[in-house]
């Protein structure tokens, strides 16, 4: 490669970072992607890994394979420690890396809103290790419930609570309800299935707040048909690992609380602190350049492009990240060549969520529909968005098998999860994968949802 080529460094192998790098193929630039994992994660289906519907490797794809044959791209597995804007370099666990243009595509992580007790005991689901830990915990609690004598402990083991009524929360609650309805009664013949309870807690008056009224009402109806107890206008006060307490005083014994009540951007140390806005996101201009920096950009969940039309920035969904990454590639080339840049305009492709078999809600512009057709639409869109033909095929076969057999084939406790040692368990996995323990910090997320 010519030393005259400008170097574009991308931190994060999520939807935005991947799309940006793809669009720079065969261009007169050097591209470097950095991520703490060697794979891209399809986050919208993490809940299916957590509930035994899919294996983890069916929603992950090797980053190197994505860019096979792209000669102007280098990929490195590393953790980014700090950005030094004045020196145009970043500090990483594998050494210093210089850049001409830096793109932050670090995505988001679970937001516990400063409630450390909840953070220590609730289960997040923003990465594959977290989803696998949740799957182990769910299955371990079911096994333990068969041998305990204490009724309160048994109730806690069999009560599953999902906090947050957005798409992730709704889909997770629906998946748990179907697990109870179709699988547990066969796997656990000695278990009184009526003792298994699933709760969905949402602080606002409705579920799926960003979707239409029809979608909100129908999703709640679908969940209640499946036996989920939906609690709206309910806020969590505390959770000690054994019982969750709401602000109205209601106490629900539970050893499994799944947190999907909010996310926050993953920001690297060294960036302009005045650019950090609500949701721990980085304020960017209309070409995704971070406020206060000339050659540092952000795309996806971590970016907040605040305008009159989008006072809170764009939604943290894959289409927004992909569109930002695609246009930023074009604008970076224009900047390098001294050409005018193009302002970002988001094309909203709609929103959708599935609640279970033949149950989904879809909003596309002014078109709203629910039920089986919406469910097939949801499946098609997610299959097409998955990276890699193999992953598409594996997921499709799993879905077809589950549909006709009413079964889920990945109910495995691969590694026991010790409650209360959440981050330790995750970090131990990273150390085993890296061989040197250098990738322990959860600082850089890998995907953009």
Per-residue pLDDT tens digits for 127-153: 999 999 999 999 999 999 999 999 999
Band of residue 417 on the pLDDT scale cut at 50, 70, 90? confident
Does residue 365 sit within a domain?
yes
Does residue 294 sit within a domain?
no
Does residue 9 sit within a domain?
no
The structural domain count of the chain equals: 1
Contact call for residues 172 and 260 (beta carbons, < 8 A): yes
Average pLDDT over residues 357-369: 94
In this prediction, residue 411 carries a pLDDT of: 84
Predicted TM-score (pTM) of the model is 0.89
Which residues are catalytic, by number? Answer: 171
Q: In this structure, what token pair is assigned to residue 448?
A: 């953009």
CATH of the domain at 215: 3.50.50.100
Say yes or no to pLDDT of 424 above 60: no
Say yes or no to pLDDT of 320 above 60: yes
Does residue 358 sit within a domain?
yes
Band of residue 409 on the pLDDT scale cut at 50, 70, 90? confident
Does residue 234 sit within a domain?
yes
Domain hosting residue 184, numbered range: 116-261+350-431
In this prediction, residue 412 carries a pLDDT of: 84
Contact call for residues 353 and 168 (beta carbons, < 8 A): no
Does residue 437 sit within a domain?
no
Distances in Å between the Cα of 159 and the Cα atoms of 125, 199, 200, 307, 427 are: 18, 8, 11, 43, 28
Does residue 88 sit within a domain?
no
Contact call for residues 112 and 60 (beta carbons, < 8 A): no
Band of residue 420 on the pLDDT scale cut at 50, 70, 90? low
Q: What's the per-residue H, E or C state across 120-172? A: HHCECCCCHHHHHHHHHHHHHHHHHHCCCCCHHHHHHHHEEEEECCCHHHHHH
Does residue 60 sit within a domain?
no
């Amino acid at each position: 490669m010519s030393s005259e080529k400008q170097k574009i460094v991308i931190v994060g192998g999520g939807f935005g970072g991947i799309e940006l790098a793809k669009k720079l193929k065969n261009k007169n630039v050097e591209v470097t992607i950095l991520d703490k994992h060697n794979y891209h994660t399809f986050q919208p289906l993490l809940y299916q890994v957590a509930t035994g519907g899919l294996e983890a490797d069916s929603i992950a794809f090797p980053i190197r394979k994505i860019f096979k044959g792209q000669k102007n791209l280098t990929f490195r597995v590393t953790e980014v420690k700090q950005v030094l804007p004045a020196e145009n370099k970043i500090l990483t666990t594998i050494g210093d890396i210089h850049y001409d243009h830096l793109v932050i595509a670090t995505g988001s992580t679970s937001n516990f809103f400063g409630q450390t007790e909840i953070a220590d005991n609730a289960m997040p689901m923003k990465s594959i290790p977290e989803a696998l830990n949740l799957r182990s915990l769910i299955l371990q609690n079911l096994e333990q419930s068969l041998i305990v004598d204490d009724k309160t402990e048994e109730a806690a083991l069999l009560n599953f609570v999902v906090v947050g009524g957005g798409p992730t929360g709704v889909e997770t609650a629906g998946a748990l309800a179907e697990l109870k309805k179709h699988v547990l009664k066969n796997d656990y013949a000695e278990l009184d299935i009526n003792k298994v309870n699933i709760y969905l807690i949402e602080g606002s008056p409705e579920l799926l707040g960003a979707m239409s009224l029809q979608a909100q009402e129908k999703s709640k109806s679908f969940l209640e048909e499946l036996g989920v107890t939906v609690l709206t206008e309910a806020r969590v006060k505390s959770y000690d690992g054994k019982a969750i307490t709401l602000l109205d005083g209601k106490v629900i014994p539970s050893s499994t609380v799944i947190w999907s009540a909010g996310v926050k951007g993953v920001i690297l140390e060294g960036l302009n602190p005045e650019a950090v806005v609500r949701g721990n996101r980085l304020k960017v201009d209309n070409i995704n350049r971070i406020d206060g920096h000339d050659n540092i950009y952000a795309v996806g969940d971590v970016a907040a492009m605040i305008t009159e039309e989008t006072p809170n920035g764009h939604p943290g969904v894959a289409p927004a990240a992909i569109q930002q990454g695609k246009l930023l590639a074009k604008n970076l080339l224009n900047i390098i060549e001294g050409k005018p840049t193009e302002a970002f305009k988001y094309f909203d492709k709609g929103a959708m969520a599935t609640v279970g078999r033949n149950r989904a809600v879809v909003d596309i512009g002014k078109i709203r529909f629910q039920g089986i057709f919406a469910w097939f639409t949801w499946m098609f869109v997610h299959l097409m968005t998955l990276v890699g033909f193999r992953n598409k095929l594996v997921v499709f076969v799993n879905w077809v098998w589950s549909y006709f057999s009413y079964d889920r084939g990945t109910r495995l406790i691969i590694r026991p999860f010790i409650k209360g040692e959440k981050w330790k368990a995750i970090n131990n996995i990273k150390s085993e994968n890296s061989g040197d323990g250098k990738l322990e910090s959860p600082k850089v997320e890998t995907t953009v949802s």
